[in-house]
Structure 1
Amino acid sequence: MTEINAYAAMEAGGSLEAYSYDPGPLSAHDVEIDVMACGVCHSDLSMVDNSWHSSQYPLIPGHEAVGRIRAKGEAVTTLEVGQMVGVGWNAQSCQACQPCLSGTQQRCQTGVSTIRSNGGFADRVRVQDIWAVPIPDGIDPVTAGPLFCGGITVFAPFVNFGLKPTDRVGVIGIGGLGHLALQFANAWGCEVTAFTSSQDKMDELKKLGAHRVVNSRDKDAIKAERGHFDFIISTVNVSLNWPAYLAALRPNGQLITVGGVAEPMGIPAFSLIGGGKSVGGSDTGAPHEVATMLEFCARHDIKPMVETFPMSEVNAAIDHLKSGKARYRIVLKNN
């Protein structure tokens, strides 16, 4: 195999530089993918900056890669060379621990994330075969990348926490994740409310599926939602007035966070006890859940709104992400 050409951070917080490496022999259960496009996620930025204190350099970001399989290991039987697939946060799982055997491979006890095993800001990427999920007809492969992280992150809670079509759903934070959550919840049949600090987005949010829009900076507006929701999903990574959102839940309602809030959330016990409410968290999804999400997207014409940059302009793309002006996801394209 020839060297893989990529873009890597050489130190914490550093700009990405052209970087090549020898991937070695292809493992029996791995596939090698020609990367057509790769989404840019805030998690990439966190890893580049070593915000989670686990990064190792050189570090090749990218965990929303889409492309065609160019080679497969001798033990790969479910995928074919030339097939269009996508890759998300996970690159390897042991297939033997309890999470793997129970169908939650994303929680493998010895799993390896794509971004820690040479990511998709490159011309090629390698992953274990189960994590290369085929892309169904009807989904644009160039813009599909964000579904493999942002998409599955907000889709999985709908499945795992038993969302019903009759539920009233609130989505906090309408960015890369939230704008997909609105589309999923609307297609699910739910009444959908967007909590956002950007009131200039109102018309756009309604086109994305919101029936109602609430100003998340208006304490009185949130208070007026008391007892309204069956399910609230938070996509933000900052602390909020969690008791106010718990008060907005109906009895037996659920507040689910997928945003990495660094501080303790400080949930008062009586906010849960009164009404039998619950707070939970969700990560990404197993391969079968990713496949289900892609089918759902194809059926309901759900797609991320993206801005594209050439892969060679990766640093400009990252600067645009840092600016907070991206609407709503950024995708790097290989020429």
Structure 2
Amino acid sequence: MTTVAAYAAPAAKAPLERTTIERREVGEFDVLIDIKFAGICHSDIHQAREGWGEAIFPMVPGHEIAGVVSEVGSGVTKFKVGDRVGVGCMVDSCRECENCKAGFEQYCLKGMVGTYNAVGKDGRPTHGGYSQKIVVDENYTVRIPDGLSLDVAAPLLCAGVTTFSPLRHWNAGPGKKVAIIGLGGLGHMAVKIAHAMGAEVTVLSQSLRKKDDGLKLGADHYYATSDPKTFEELQGTFDLIVSTVSAPLDFGAYLSLVKVDGALANVGAPEEPISLNLFSLIGGRKTLAGSLIGGIRETQEMLDFCAEHGIGAEIELISASEINEAYERVLNSDVRYRFVIDTATI
């Protein structure tokens, strides 16, 4: 085992604090990554505060990891020392079920192994990116193209692929009208990616406070959902709506904006259950769907796409000592648009 410094939540809802954790020795097919940057995802807060249910503590969050390979196992063929790499939301899966074999490891029928707040095949809890180093199987590691700086690439490992996947699945592109609910850490990436795919992009936000930002990021239109006229004007407009918010919505109202045979895909995960009148689906053969991150192959495709189109996250770089403050600011929507930890400060 190797001991490395990290920031961990010692218990649910407790402030994160500096500590040390053990990383396994580099196995035959493992890579040791010197973590350079780690994004702060709203998921980190949900899990560190047990908003999604019972969790494992102490917890080292972080599944938006960008770094450099410093050691490789004897059987590694995909990476070499010095390569720029990333790790997203999972570090293993069964590799045998139909979903894993199809490249949808995130939907592993036996359950993927999360980068943190999970138990690995060795029976030990996994720890994430708020740390100096991590050991990961090469098959769950992706290459960060040279065209992307590591700091703005880190959030792509969750926010990027989480929005890329449904946009690609529901064929966002030329001739398609796509709406993004929320302009936060996920939403701003969705706008950039949908725009690069060639779709006509609309942001649906509570207010017009971030309108100028949204238009600069690539949105063609921007509407305030607090204005009832928005729902009248946009009725039956969109081929696809992607909801990036983690609060319950009036899904009947938002489904009214979807065209016949269109879809409303959720990537935000509220802690509370929702209610739905099924007539809002039946009246238009509409789809209310969900999408979870992306598989390893799709994550690499997303990184290559973002490099090709010059897309990185809009970030605020912070030191590790600012993590707890950053959590509160995320909850207050006071970040434009993703906090990224400089792990050299851990």
Instruction: Find the counterpart in structure 1 of residue 228 from structure 2.
Output: 219
Q: Residue type matched to 1:94 in 2?
A: C
User: Does the C-alpha gap of structure 1 residues 197 and 45 become closer, same or farther in structure 2, counting only changes over 3 Å?
Assistant: same
Q: Residue type matched to 2:210 in 1?
A: K
8 Å contact 2:318–2:339 — kept in the other structure?
yes
1:38-62 Cα deviation digits (max 9, x unpaired): 0011111111112122311111111
Q: Residue type matched to 2:46 in 1?
A: S
Q: Residue type matched to 1:106 in 2?
A: Q
Instruction: Find the counterpart in structure 2 of residue 99 from structure 1.
Output: 99
User: Counterparts of 2:111 and 2:244 in 1: how far apart (Å)?
Assistant: 26
Are residues 1:315 and 2:328 paired?
Answer: no
8 Å contact 1:230–1:249 — kept in the other structure?
yes
What secondary structure does 2:304 align onto? Answer: helix
- The TM-score normalised by the length of structure 2 is 0.93
1:285-308 Cα deviation digits (max 9, x unpaired): 011111111111111111111001
1:159-191 Cα deviation digits (max 9, x unpaired): 222334210011111100011111111111111
Could you tell me the percent identity over the aligned residues?
A: 38
Instruction: Find the counterpart in structure 2 of residue 200 from structure 1.
Output: 209
Deviation (angstroms), 1:194: 0.4
Deviation (angstroms), 1:323: 3.4
User: Counterparts of 1:78 and 1:63 in 2: how far apart (Å)?
Assistant: 21
8 Å contact 2:24–2:135 — kept in the other structure?
no
Report how many residues are paired: 335
Instruction: Find the counterpart in structure 1 of residue 17 from structure 2.
Output: 17
Instruction: Find the counterpart in structure 2 of residue 141 from structure 1.
Output: 150
8 Å contact 1:214–1:222 — kept in the other structure?
no
Unaligned runs of 5+ in 1: none
8 Å contact 2:52–2:271 — kept in the other structure?
no
User: Does the C-alpha gap of structure 1 residues 251 and 152 become closer, same or farther in structure 2, counting only changes over 3 Å?
Assistant: same
What secondary structure does 2:180 align onto? Answer: strand
8 Å contact 2:177–2:201 — kept in the other structure?
yes
8 Å contact 1:8–1:16 — kept in the other structure?
yes
What secondary structure does 1:199 align onto? Answer: coil
8 Å contact 2:205–2:225 — kept in the other structure?
yes
User: Counterparts of 1:220 and 1:127 in 2: how far apart (Å)?
Assistant: 50
Deviation (angstroms), 1:89: 0.7
Deviation (angstroms), 1:230: 0.7
8 Å contact 1:114–1:127 — kept in the other structure?
no
Q: Residue type matched to 2:115 in 1?
A: T
Instruction: Find the counterpart in structure 2 of residue 329 from structure 1.
Output: 338
Instruction: Find the counterpart in structure 2 of residue 112 from structure 1.
Output: 113
For residues 1-335 of structure 1, the aligned pairs below 5 Å read: 2-108=2-108, 109-116=110-117, 117-335=126-344
Q: Residue type matched to 1:287 in 2?
A: I
What secondary structure does 1:25 align onto? Answer: coil
User: Counterparts of 2:297 and 2:338 in 1: how far apart (Å)?
Assistant: 24
What secondary structure does 1:230 align onto? Answer: strand
8 Å contact 2:23–2:134 — kept in the other structure?
no
User: Counterparts of 2:258 and 2:325 in 1: how far apart (Å)?
Assistant: 41
- The TM-score normalised by the length of structure 1 is 0.95
User: Does the C-alpha gap of structure 1 residues 24 and 232 become closer, same or farther in structure 2, counting only changes over 3 Å?
Assistant: closer
Deviation (angstroms), 1:264: 3.8
Instruction: Find the counterpart in structure 1 of residue 120 from structure 2.
Output: none
Which region of structure 1 is more displaced relative to structure 2, 33-42 or 53-62? 53-62
What secondary structure does 1:126 align onto? Answer: strand
Which region of structure 1 is more displaced relative to structure 2, 54-63 or 313-322? 313-322
User: Does the C-alpha gap of structure 1 residues 323 and 276 become closer, same or farther in structure 2, counting only changes over 3 Å?
Assistant: closer
User: Counterparts of 1:247 and 1:315 in 2: how far apart (Å)?
Assistant: 39
1:182-232 Cα deviation digits (max 9, x unpaired): 111111111111001131211111001111111111122122111111111
8 Å contact 2:3–2:20 — kept in the other structure?
yes
What secondary structure does 1:272 align onto? Answer: helix
User: Counterparts of 1:99 and 1:277 in 2: how far apart (Å)?
Assistant: 25
User: Counterparts of 2:161 and 2:278 in 1: how far apart (Å)?
Assistant: 30
Unaligned runs of 5+ in 2: 118-125
User: Counterparts of 1:314 and 1:252 in 2: how far apart (Å)?
Assistant: 43
Moved over 3 A (4+): 262-265
Which region of structure 1 is more displaced relative to structure 2, 106-115 or 20-29? 20-29
Deviation (angstroms), 1:129: 1.2
Deviation (angstroms), 1:246: 1.3
User: Counterparts of 1:314 and 1:181 in 2: how far apart (Å)?
Assistant: 25
